[in-house]
Structure 1
Amino acid sequence: MPAPAQPDDVGADLDAWVRGWVLARGVSGAVRTPHWWRVPTGTDTERCRWVLTTPSAAAVREAVAEARAETDHVKTAGDPAAWLPRLGPGWRPEQPTWLMTTPLAAVHPPAAPPGYRLATSTAGATTVLTVHAADGTPAARGHLAVAGADAVFDRISTEAQHRRRGLGSLVMTHLAAAARAGGARRGVLVASAQGRALYTSLGWRTRSPITGAHRHLGTGAVGSPR
């Protein structure tokens, strides 16, 4: 059975996301093959991830054969209903996410609202922007990595007690300005359901759902959503 089809350039968008995500997370040892990335994330919940950028039946088989640990993850762009069954038994689906992109227009980012201040730190291609509350505690934060003409936005978050005050938009706008200053002309990210609503309101375009799953070696492992 042939692999589910993808728009021609979605794989390139996913490839751009991985390149920037590795920089944003400070991950070393990522390996690029013709059809996928293998990224040794090395966290408690994820030993390694395989990101299929030009998926095929053969690429899926190779990734699944390598991903043997219970904390190994596989991701690709496409409909989970089509892709998850191809992984076979022993895989548990992850929460839905979406690959999104946007042109980075030249903008003048607004000042922080009263009671908040911004702090930015940059090291090489990566930037971290933090919004501090009046008491000095972090209220919102975002990470950015510039890889050529692409900028990957990562870990955009707002603390619960500071939500609905425009801080997420503030972070995104300031990071977009930093990305433009660093030479990027397009933004790329992978969004959660909550984040997707924010990014859509800021003009980001959804390119594809992301199929994500991790190994589950215990009883009740699944290869497709229930």
Structure 2
Amino acid sequence: MASNASDELIGTWVAGWAGARGYETRNEGRVHAALRHDTTEDWEYVIYGPSKEELAAVAETLAKHPNRRLTAFDDSAENLVAMATEVGLQVTADDEALMVTELAVHDVEVPLPADGFIFQIERDGTHAYVSLHPEDNQEVVAASGHVSAVDGYAIFDRIITGADFRRQGLGTLIMRALASLAQEHDVDEGLLIASVDGQQLYASLGWTSLGKVVMFKA
């Protein structure tokens, strides 16, 4: 049976997401933080089910550091947004979702690439990176993705299909390949944050939503 969203689960997701991207991390009480050196060059805070007091504390910090952001998970996105608005936070995105899958239902072998494409696979400890390339131009990345194994979970991240290669099933192949590579480790479930475009694809591959993800700025 798939996990439910919780502070512990969100902490596991942060560990895999940050580890995949090389982010420095720290914890401040129940608030997880990652230093996004590749985008804002500042800290992003992550919390599950925050109280109004916790949101107010983060809002105060964000007001002092405008480049910082908050990503929050809650069983009720409506209540979360209402509380956050009261303490001065502004919604920057509310269309992503936390999704989970049981890996036992996924392939244990890397699938064959689509005709005219080749896979490239890189393993580094508990991390794996998969990319698909046209056979006749292997410098071009048609689709790619990353997975990290953390505490029994596989954290999927940066699932990208190039604009010129969409609607060819390449995203599905990347997900199937990552799921098979994840099972080289002692993992039971997969986690990811899905964009609007990705949610339908992942649902068709056996993923279920654990709720909305809301991002804020001061």
Q: SS of the counterpart of 1:96?
A: strand
Q: Which whole-Å CA distance do the structure 1 matches of 2:114 and 2:204 have between them?
A: 19
Gapped runs of 5+ residues in structure 1? 1-6, 216-226
Give the counterpart of 2:53 among 58, 64, 69: 58
Work out the CA distance in 1 between the residues paired with 2:167 and 2:6.
Answer: 32
Q: Distance in 2 between matches of 1:149 and 1:8?
A: 14
Matched residue, 2:88: 89
TM-score by length of 1: 0.85
Superposition RMSD in Å? 1.9
Matches within 5 A, 1:99-114: 99-105=98-104, 107=107, 108-114=109-115
1:12-161 map, 5 Å: 12-28=8-24, 30-45=25-40, 47-67=42-62, 68-78=64-74, 79-87=76-84, 88-89=87-88, 91-105=90-104, 107=107, 108-134=109-135, 135-136=137-138, 137-161=140-164
Q: Distance in 1 between matches of 2:207 and 2:41?
A: 28
Q: What residue is the counterpart of 2:203 in the other structure?
A: 200
User: Post-superposition shift, 1:148?
Assistant: 2.1
Secondary structure in 1 matching 2:179:
helix
CA distance in 1, matches of 2:4, 2:131: 36
- Tell me the distance in 1 between the aligned counterparts of 2:142 and 2:94: 25
Between 1:50-59 and 1:206-215, the stretch displaced more is: 50-59
SS at match of 1:156: strand
Counterpart amino acid of 1:83?
A: L
Aligned to 2:36, what secondary structure does the other structure show? Answer: coil
State whether residues 117 and 134 of structure 2, in contact with CA within 8 Å, keep that contact through their aligned partners in structure 1: yes
Q: Distance in 2 between matches of 1:61 and 1:89?
A: 8
User: Contact conserved, 1:10 with 1:208, CA < 8 A, in 2?
Assistant: no
Match of 1:167 in 2: 170
Amino acid at match of 2:14: V
Distance 2:89 2:217 in 1: 8
1:186 equivalent to 2:189? Answer: yes
Q: What's the TM-score, normalizing by structure 2?
A: 0.88
Q: Tell me what 2:214 maps to.
A: 211
**Bigger strand share:** 2
Once the 2 structures are TM-superposed, how far is the Cα of residue 43 of structure 1 from its aligned partner? 3.6
Unpaired stretches in structure 2, ≥5 consecutive residues: none
Q: Which amino acid aligns with 1:52?
A: I
CA distance in 2, matches of 1:69, 1:84: 21
Conservation of the 8 A alpha-carbon contact between 1:98 and 1:191? yes
